[in-house]
Amino acid sequence: MKLPDGITGFYEKHNRPPMIDGKQFKLLCFNSIKSNGGKVLEFKEPKEKSNFFDVEVNAFNKHFHILLNAHYPLIAFASVVSFGEIDFIDEPQLNSEFSPFYRVLGTEELNEQIINSDSKKGTIQNENKLNGAELKQLAYWKPERIGDVIFNNWD
């Protein structure tokens, strides 16, 4: 996956990345989960230290999270979301619900390893258009997977 400029939430000067409409996402989550007999437990908006929406749900007789990047229409599912740890899962029952609005990322793509060219500079060999501020964050946080870049709790 090609990582676009601003996906981490960090940017240089006045080149602020685009922002996703959280209201549409919230409405879609509540409607989709309810129509599948589930319940939304908590809806967390991106905060100063995170770059993603985190919706905690019970559906299909299991507990999981729906994640949406705050800057690009990229969505993922996870069984665990805590500082520094996200366990991505596939939730095929919800792909059709979200795919008309967002690109649903699967575990294979999210777990793709970051290939460092120069870990001190944060340069990576994975296809990307990351800006200098983002590359500095990669050098500091040293994410191991593409999913750790797209959904991060960096400050």
22-74 confidence digits (pLDDT tens): 999 999 999 999 999 999 999 999 987 899 999 999 999 999 999 999 999 99
Contact of 92 with 77, CB cutoff 8 Å? no
Q: Which two tokens mark 120?
A: 């001190």
7-11, 68-72, 82-86: lowest mean pLDDT where?
A: 82-86
Q: Which residue's structure tokens are 């599912």? A: 77
How far from 102 is each of 36, 38, 139, CA to CA, in Å?
Answer: 19, 21, 29
* pLDDT bucket at 119, cuts 50 / 70 / 90: low
Residue 109 is classified by DSSP as H
Q: Which residue's structure tokens are 């989550």? A: 29
Contact of 52 with 67, CB cutoff 8 Å? yes
pLDDT value, residue 116: 81
Count of positions (residues) in the chain: 155
The pTM is what? Answer: 0.94
